[in-house]
Amino acid sequence: MDLLSGFEDNERNNLVSKLKWSLSNLKQFPRAWFEKFTKILKGHGFTQGQIDHTLFFRHSLNGKITILIVYVDDIILTRNDLEEMESLKGDMAREFEIKDLRPLRYFLGMEVARSKRSIVVSQRKYTLDLLKEIDMLDCKLVDTPMDHAH
């Protein structure tokens, strides 16, 4: 960053300017962030998906796998290799400001509930929020043709 004209001080070369505008306001910021993110993951041995470029995976030598998917600035990280996942989270924390929300509960309008036997994904909250937004929380339920298709 260059100082604006008139703000130079030739007598004191130790002046500092404070940037009050976030870099994330720049149109190029998301692409630059994703390029840096991708470089770090590839450096950690991850392969980027060919069909979905936001999907990354890594097979360890012991046959375990770590999978990561990113959407804007939300990341889902799953694995059957806890040590690899903890190592990756540490590397990411050194490069980015991260917040570990622990087990996945909500992502892109989907609620995720776990039991010992299963994982259930629903869009109940998303649907209720949508109905509330359009002032239709009190609407009446109606059968659909699929309800009678059995």
3-state helix, strand, coil in the chain (%, to 5): 30, 20, 50
User: pLDDT of 73-109, one tens digit each?
Assistant: 788 888 787 777 788 888 888 887 877 777 888 888 8
In this structure, are residues 110 and 97 in contact, taking their beta carbons and an 8 Å threshold?
no
Output the pTM of the full model: 0.60
What domains are defined for the chain? 26-101 (3.30.310), 103-139 (no CATH)
Looking at per-residue pLDDT, the higher value among 22 and 122 belongs to 122
In the predicted structure, residue 43 carries a pLDDT above the cut 80 = yes
**Residue 50 three-state SS:** coil
Please report, as a single letter, which amino acid is at residue 84.
E
